[in-house]
């Protein structure tokens, strides 16, 4: 088993800078998700680690070995692609055993390893079938199995379940987590699906335009996003943003949007904001849909008046869009709540969950 470290790694394709100065490490036995939108450099990063692409600059270590100039087969890294690429004329067993055969592993050892991984992946009952006789999920597991039988130090997965249907994807997500727990191999998993990253990973590296934005535990990424991009990319429904001015009334700070929304602040935030000596008093407030509560009447805590604009039911949760003039807030509610369009409501924001960003740079202030 091994740690994977990238130090100041860059990759350009002509004028396109696909990966910019990337420094990150995936610890021994860790499950790290590389998360980001299409084109942010996720696949390129994996391809440099496995050795299918040469980095333009920087160093890549696996364990304490510098691997930049090693051939893929010398790196002890297996990569699982989105398209599983099984050999159609081989049985499942032969497909899985193939990487061992070309490495001259004895037939007895091949059998042992294939059976063990097949059992973990729950495909031990289809070892004699041909790929065409398998479901999508089974093919996926055979592809994964073929990488895992090698017992590589590092496994890289590039959106391995993104094209499965929702039910299978859900099932495979659970399987992947269990497999990682059983085999304990260092895993870097690429996805653009934040739910997948949060569900699976020990830590998440969020990328944008070839650059690392934040590396942290899923909770940390969710509750302390370093900038607006990370705040908006992780969490569903997405976080609400509202531009505000920090104002003072009789020594107490509060937030004001235009002349019609006034949001009180917690004591601790007042203190921290006043210490910041902001260059302007403009801030962008981020507040997640889960951190707003609604009431049908006004009281001390529910003091921002709005009306219901849209309601959307997603099975176990109701997402309400509340409207205050042109400002909209998405709010996640329990589906038992009965609300009707245009009904007047009052909002209570959980002040302890406020995120403050600098509207000029998008960076987190507090």
Among Mg ion, ligand ATP, none, what binds residue 63 when CB lies within 5 to 8 Å by partner kind? none
> At 235, which helix (H) or strand (E)?
none
User: Does residue 314 interact with ligand ATP by CB under 6 A?
Assistant: no
Cβ nearer to Mg ion, comparing 204 with 244: 204
User: Does residue 13 interact with ligand ATP by CB under 6 A?
Assistant: yes
Among Mg ion, ligand ATP, none, what binds residue 46 when CB lies within 5 to 8 Å by partner kind? none
User: Does residue 194 interact with ligand ATP by CB under 6 A?
Assistant: no
Per-position DSSP letters for 172-187, written without gaps between them: HHHHHHHHHHHH--EE
- The residue count for binding Mg ion (CB under 5 A) is 1
Q: How far is the CB of 69 from Mg ion (least distance, A)?
A: 24
Q: Is 350 exposed, middle or buried (0-12, 13-18, 19+ CB in 10 A)?
A: middle
Q: Within its chain, how far is the Cα of 183 from the centroid?
A: 22
Figure out which of the listed residues 6, 41, 148, 255 binds ligand ATP, where binding follows CB under 6 A.
41
User: Does residue 208 interact with ligand ATP by CB under 6 A?
Assistant: no
Among ligand ATP, Mg ion, none, what binds residue 38 when CB lies within 5 to 8 Å by partner kind? ligand ATP
Q: Is 250 exposed, middle or buried (0-12, 13-18, 19+ CB in 10 A)?
A: exposed
Cβ nearer to ligand ATP, comparing 38 with 352: 38
Contacts of 147 (CB under 8 A, 6+ apart): 78, 79, 80, 99, 155
User: Does residue 42 interact with ligand ATP by CB under 6 A?
Assistant: yes
Sign of the torsion formed by the C-alpha atoms of 184, 200, 143 and 139 = positive
User: Does residue 160 interact with ligand ATP by CB under 6 A?
Assistant: no
User: Distance between CA atoms of 115 and 124, rounded to whole angstroms?
Assistant: 7
Write each residue from 68 to 97 as x if it is in contact with Mg ion (CB under 5 A), else as -, in one continuous string. Answer: ------------------------------
CA nearest neighbour of 238 among 248, 246, 228, 247:
228
User: Does residue 162 interact with ligand ATP by CB under 6 A?
Assistant: no
Stretch that binds ligand ATP, among 37-45, 176-184, 293-301, 318-326 (CB under 6 A): 37-45
Q: How far is the CB of 40 from ligand ATP (least distance, A)?
A: 4
Beta bridge partners of 248: 253
Q: Within its chain, how far is the Cα of 331 from the centroid?
A: 22
Bridge-based pairing state of the strands 304-314 and 317-324: antiparallel
User: Which residue is nearest to Mg ion, using beta carbons?
Assistant: 43
Decide: 50 and 75 in contact? Cβ < 8 Å.
yes
Tokens coding 134 = 């398998």
Cβ nearer to ligand ATP, comparing 18 with 206: 18
Q: How far is the CB of 81 from Mg ion (least distance, A)?
A: 10
Contacts of 161 (CB under 8 A, 6+ apart): 140, 168, 169, 172, 173, 176, 196
Stretch that binds Mg ion, among 37-45, 81-89, 123-131, 166-174 (CB under 5 A): 37-45
CB-facing half-sphere around the CA of 194: CA atoms within 13 A:
19
User: Does residue 16 interact with ligand ATP by CB under 6 A?
Assistant: yes
Cβ nearer to Mg ion, comparing 5 with 43: 43
Q: Within its chain, how far is the Cα of 343 from the centroid?
A: 36
Among Mg ion, ligand ATP, none, what binds residue 276 when CB lies within 5 to 8 Å by partner kind? none
Stretch that binds Mg ion, among 40-48, 67-75, 238-246, 328-336 (CB under 5 A): 40-48
User: Does residue 43 interact with Mg ion by CB under 5 A?
Assistant: yes
Interface with Mg ion (CB under 5 A)? 43
Interface with ligand ATP (CB under 6 A)? 13, 16, 18, 36, 38-44, 192
């Amino acid at each position: 088993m091994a740690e994977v470290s990238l130090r100041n790694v860059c990759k350009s394709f002509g004028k396109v800078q696909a990966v910019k100065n990337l420094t990150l490490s995936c610890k021994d036995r860790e499950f790290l998700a590389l998360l980001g939108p299409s084109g942010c450099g996720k696949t390129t990063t994996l391809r440099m680690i496995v050795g299918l692409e040469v980095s333009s600059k920087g160093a890549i270590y696996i364990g304490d070995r510098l691997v930049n100039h090693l051939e893929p087969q010398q790196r002890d890294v297996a990569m699982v692609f989105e398209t599983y690429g099984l050999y159609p004329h081989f049985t499942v067993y032969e497909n899985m055993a193939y990487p061992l055969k070309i490495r001259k592993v004895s037939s007895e050892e091949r059998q042992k390893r294939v059976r063990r991984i097949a059992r973990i992946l729950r495909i031990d009952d289809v070892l004699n079938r041909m790929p065409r006789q398998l479901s999508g999920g089974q093919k996926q597991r055979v592809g994964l199995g073929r990488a895992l039988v090698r017992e590589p130090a590092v496994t890289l997965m590039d959106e391995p379940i993104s094209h499965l249907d929702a039910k299978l994807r859900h099932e495979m997500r659970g399987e992947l987590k269990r497999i990682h727990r059983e085999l304990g191999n260092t895993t870097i998993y690429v996805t653009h699906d934040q739910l997948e990253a949060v569900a699976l990973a020990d830590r998440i590296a969020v990328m944008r335009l070839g650059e690392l934005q934040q590396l942290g535990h899923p909770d940390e990424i969710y509750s302390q996003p370093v900038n607006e991009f990370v705040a908006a990319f992780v969490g569903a429904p997405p976080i609400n943003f509202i531009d505000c001015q920090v104002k003072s009334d009789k020594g107490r700070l509060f937030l004001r949007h235009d002349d019609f929304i006034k949001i009180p602040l917690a004591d601790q935030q007042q203190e921290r904001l006043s210490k910041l000596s902001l260059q302007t008093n403009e801030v962008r407030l981020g507040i997640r849909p889960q951190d707003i509560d609604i009431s049908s009447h006004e009281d001390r805590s529910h003091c921002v008046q709005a009306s219901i604009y849209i309601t959307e039911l997603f099975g176990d949760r109701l997402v309400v869009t509340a409207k205050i003039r042109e400002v909209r807030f998405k709010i996640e509610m329990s589906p038992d709540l009965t609300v009707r369009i245009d009904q007047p409501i009052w909002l209570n924001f959980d002040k302890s969950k406020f995120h403050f960003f600098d509207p000029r740079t998008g960076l987190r202030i507090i």
